[in-house]
Amino acid sequence: MLKKMTLIAASAFVVTGLMGCEVEKTQEGHLTVPKYEVEKTQEGSVKVPEYNVETPDVAVNAEERTVTVPTVKTEERVVTVPKVEVTPASEK
């Protein structure tokens, strides 16, 4: 059960981290292909676009909470549960 909860929390962390990025194109790109006949008449050049990528701040902590845990009988136990805080790049 704990492994399943950890897997769910990790999946949520990855999805949230990918959605929180902001990408800004800072420069256009272009590609000039050399033209050939019998001889090369033009030099080729490649310029790729540049991007600034701001990633979100993600804080993963643990906090203790009292939860109901299924057993032969139910009882309350204090367990550590994942706590994820995401600060989007636009709010940094």
5-30 pLDDT, tens digit each: 676 766 666 655 556 777 788 888 88
What does the pLDDT read at residue 16?
A: 58
Q: How many Å apart are CA 3 and CA 69, to the nearest integer?
A: 15
Q: Using the Cα atoms of residue 8, residue 11, residue 15 and residue 18 in order, give the sign of their dihedral.
A: positive
20-74 pLDDT, tens digit each: 777 788 888 888 878 767 677 778 888 888 888 888 888 999 999 999 987 787 8
What does the pLDDT read at residue 58?
A: 87
Q: How many Å apart are CA 14 and CA 62, to the nearest integer?
A: 17
Residue type, 36: Y
Domain range for 35 is 2-91
Q: How many Å apart are CA 4 and CA 20, to the nearest integer?
A: 24
Tokens, residue 2: 């704990």
Number of compact structural domains in the chain: 1
Q: How many Å apart are CA 13 and CA 57, to the nearest integer?
A: 11
What does the pLDDT read at residue 67?
A: 92
